[in-house]
Amino acid sequence: MKEREGKIFNLKPELTLAMKLAATFAITYYGLMLVYEIFTLIYSRYFIDSYYFNNGDLAQGKKELWIQIIQLALSTILVFSLIQIFRKKVHGKAIFLTASLALIVFQLMVTGPMPMVKYILEVLLVLIIAPIRVKKKLKLKGGKLQLEPVENAVNQAEENAEANEASSQPDAQP
């Protein structure tokens, strides 16, 4: 593992605190939504199978079932994309943004604009997670390029300055 440190393509960015907090809240929110969708889908299927429907009502029951299946699929994709964000994969954020916007549009089409708090929360999650980037600094160490987070670079610069001051003082010989 030591010989792989210097290769620039093997280095992965670190998540910032803001990204960790936003993604943690988002994975909790969408994870609970996923569990809710699973229970709703089971209940919806039970409801359709257990009760007598007229021909017109059966189509309504099937429509509700497909709505639940689509929301379950979008919630699953959102949880998967947030796991990919935590694994620091590049495509995780793109999948999250696409699936989140698709879920918001789908919910608007199905339920209308009435549950505004839910839409505001989901739009805020998109607006918080989308623009956050991890700042990195290129560093040449031992003839190899390395990426370092800006916070680590500042701390190491302070440590190097202290080490340089200590080494520049002449040693007293007896």
Break the chain into its structural domains and give their ranges.
Answer: 15-129, 135-167
Residue-wise pLDDT tens digits, 111-135: 888 888 889 999 999 988 887 665 5
Residue-wise pLDDT tens digits, 70-95: 999 999 999 999 998 888 777 888 89
Picking from 68, 82, 77, 79, the residue whose alpha carbon sits closest to that of residue 36 is 68
